[in-house]
Structure 1
Amino acid sequence: MSIARVALIASARFPITEPFAGGLEAHTWGLARALTRRGHRVELFAAPGSDPVLETRELPVRRAVLSPAARADASMPSHTWMEEHHAYLGLMLDLARDGERRFDVVHNNSLHYLPVAMASALSIPVITTLHTPPTPWLESAIQTSDACPVVFTAVSRCTASAWQQTVPEALVVRNGIDTDFWTPGSGGPGLVWSGRMVPEKGPHLAIRAARAAGVPLRLAGPVSDEQYFETQVAPLLGGGVQYVGHLGRKELAQLVGRAAAALVTPSWDEPYGLVVAEALACGTPVCGFDRGALAEILTPDCGLLAPPGDVAALAELIPRAMRLGRRDARRRAETFCSLERTADDYTALYEEVRR
């Protein structure tokens, strides 16, 4: 294995540190550590304040300083949009100037369009991982030239299929979790749900299913949509349903490991489902909706899936899911969801694109 100098592009909005803003940040954190352990020289482009334990050099995130006249212009987008645009524009211009002296490969894990749109300006290979269903901005960026020079990977077959029209040859490299950290727990009498508190993750549906099944439920995760949380989730709390807050990895692993089963209730086509892998690694079977990539991860001996959005069907499956074998769940995580396998696949891809 040859050592690669990797520019790892992440979110310019959220620092890559605990407690993670979402699965994308958690994945980037784990991948950076796994690549560094293999001896690769990783430099991370992410929001300031990212975790120093990553042992990577943080690339600068430049903020735009706009005049009062510019901010008052009718074309002025949101402050967040403008900051992200400026940060990625500055990064790509820097890489275009002298990136080949510092890096062997650029690995884009962000959701922003500029690393793809400006890839042709770079003299080093660019890999972009598709973490979401298609977005108009990214599809537009891919089509800016007749032959987009970017090598694309997708985090699941489901995600690769969703991008088929624009990216017909995306390689599937599934996300992974550190199975040395996410270790089997003792189980317990209740259920757990974890993730961002947003409509597409469906925590309100998990609560309704748990109530219908008569099983207590604890929920954990950042409140990313305050209006949704206050109107759709908070009124359902109490009476055996508890929101325990936004937890760090250690506390979250303990919570998941002490549950009889994990509920996963996407209201969108889940591109991968990192919370599924985390639950399985903790020996906790999964009960969820059959959306997106969940069916790729789960097998009948470690998880059960109800039709999308069918709360009654999900509630009926909960008692069966709670009786599934915890060893089977852990075994699935070790063989299918390992971060080591993810890092191996990307190491091989880095080698291939450098030839």
Structure 2
Amino acid sequence: MPPAPDPALRPLRIGLVAGLRFPVAQPFAGGLEAHTWSLARSLTAAGHEVVMYAHGDSDRSVATVVPVFAPPPVSAAARADIAAPPEHFLWEHRCMQQTMSRLLRDVDRLDLVHNNSLHYLPLAMAPLLGTRMVTTLHTPPNAWQEAGALDGALASRFLAVSRDVAERWSHVLGEVEVVGNGVDPLLWPAGPGGRDLVWSGRIVPEKAPHLAVRAARLLDRDVVLAGPVHDQRYFAEEVEPLLSDRVRYAGHLGVDALARLVGSSACALVTPCWDEPFGLVAAEAMLCGTPVAAFDRGGLRDVVGSRGGVLAAPDDVADLARAADRALAMDRRRVRSHALATLSVTAMAERYVQVYRAAA
């Protein structure tokens, strides 16, 4: 008679709260959506059931999607309130309020809830769920998140995506365990390299693709930019005037096209003008074997290290060009091997499952 299955190893039913502003689907609006998709996909592939509370256009092949419906517009009377917050704030608050109301109805059918959003309401409402919540901290605290974490600290287990994020939350939560983001090597295969440089990510001022263009000029190399334009004014004023035969904007690409672009590039430039919490674009480049030259800010030191690329002084374009020049000489096979050892999506998902089982 075969032994009874170990109940501690049974598949889990996980409620995954995503960011609600953008779909968890390709082409990804940013690193948060890419991370949520990869995690849901890996958990589902491992046999777990993932119920994802997310934008209605999210990818239903990676999870059961509970769509969040847009609330009605704010009335003219409410907008006339001189103390009213911006409308986008109210919209997102009301969407998350709907999500949490639905989650409260569903929670008895879930083993646990993973809050993978950036919103404060899941943190504040964690004590109402009756089951322990796991929260991934993707960013340093803001005033709303900090207040929510203080309200729900005893009802959630917190994880940070990098040591930098963990340290920035330590005054609220004490020591926070780090579980770094992971990348699927099948989706980001080894590439042949090339001569051009590449920059990818959300096109916004704090990601500063215009600084990547300046560094490329110092190196006398062409550069290709790729990513969604989230700040049209910044793109029009700071990026579009730089476009030329040697500076090309490839658009907002899906994973396959972006992986081909990154893998056929000589070096990836990563230019945050803020303390980047993790730096998923650096991890993606390294999986392709493409070395990274990045400003040494936030979690990029964890991601890139000394074997995935070269770090430069923050905001120093000349030093970034020097870092890229050194990175160009790195062995692409060793860069990918380092990424496989440290940035695997499988290892990330397995660590999350360990945390889930402890919480459940």
TM-score tier, shorter chain, comes to over 0.9
The alignment of Structure 1 onto Structure 2 pairs a total of residues equal to 352
Counterparts of 1:263 and 1:62, CA distance in 2 = 37
Mind listing any 5+ residue stretches in structure 1 that lack a counterpart?
Answer: none
The equivalent residue for 2:88 is 80
Equivalent position SS for 1:53: coil
1:159 aligned partner, one-letter code: V
Counterparts of 1:66 and 1:204, CA distance in 2 = 37
Equivalent position SS for 2:164: helix
* Residue number among 115, 131, 136 corresponding to 1:129 in the alignment: 136
* Structure 1 residues 51-89: Cα deviation after superposition (integer angstroms, max 9, x where no partner): 122242324445245444334433433332222111211
Counterparts of 2:264 and 2:132, CA distance in 1 = 44
Equivalent position SS for 1:148: helix
8 Å contact kept, 1:301–1:325: no
User: Identity of counterpart residues, as a percentage?
Assistant: 49
The equivalent residue for 1:49 is 57
CA separation of 1:60 and 1:300: change in aligned 2, threshold 3 A: closer
CA separation of 1:208 and 1:64: change in aligned 2, threshold 3 A: same
Q: How is 1:230-269 mapped onto 2 (pairs within 5 angstroms)?
A: 230-269=236-275
Counterparts of 1:54 and 1:61, CA distance in 2 = 20
The equivalent residue for 2:151 is 144
8 Å contact kept, 2:55–2:67: no
2:268 aligned partner, one-letter code: A
Q: CA deviation at 1:22?
A: 0.3
The reply on whether 1:212 has 2:218 as its aligned counterpart is yes
Equivalent position SS for 2:55: coil
8 Å contact kept, 1:64–1:82: no
Counterparts of 2:206 and 2:57, CA distance in 1 = 28
1:86 aligned partner, one-letter code: R
Counterparts of 1:227 and 1:250, CA distance in 2 = 28
* Residue number among 6, 11, 30 corresponding to 1:3 in the alignment: 11
Mind listing any 5+ residue stretches in structure 2 that lack a counterpart?
Answer: 1-8
8 Å contact kept, 2:207–2:273: yes
1:253 aligned partner, one-letter code: A
Equivalent position SS for 1:222: coil
Counterparts of 2:105 and 2:308, CA distance in 1 = 50
The reply on whether 1:116 has 2:123 as its aligned counterpart is yes
Q: CA deviation at 1:6?
A: 0.8
Counterparts of 1:97 and 1:184, CA distance in 2 = 45
Counterparts of 1:229 and 1:262, CA distance in 2 = 20
Q: CA deviation at 1:202?
A: 1.5
The equivalent residue for 2:110 is 103
CA separation of 1:317 and 1:95: change in aligned 2, threshold 3 A: closer
Q: Which deviates the most, 91-100 or 175-184?
A: 91-100
Q: How is 1:34-45 mapped onto 2 (pairs within 5 angstroms)?
A: 34-45=42-53
**TM-score where L is the length of structure 1:** 0.95
Q: How is 1:224-303 mapped onto 2 (pairs within 5 angstroms)?
A: 224-303=230-309
* Structure 1 residues 316-342: Cα deviation after superposition (integer angstroms, max 9, x where no partner): 222221111100111011111111011
* Residue number among 327, 330, 333 corresponding to 1:327 in the alignment: 333
Q: How is 1:309-348 mapped onto 2 (pairs within 5 angstroms)?
A: 309-348=315-354
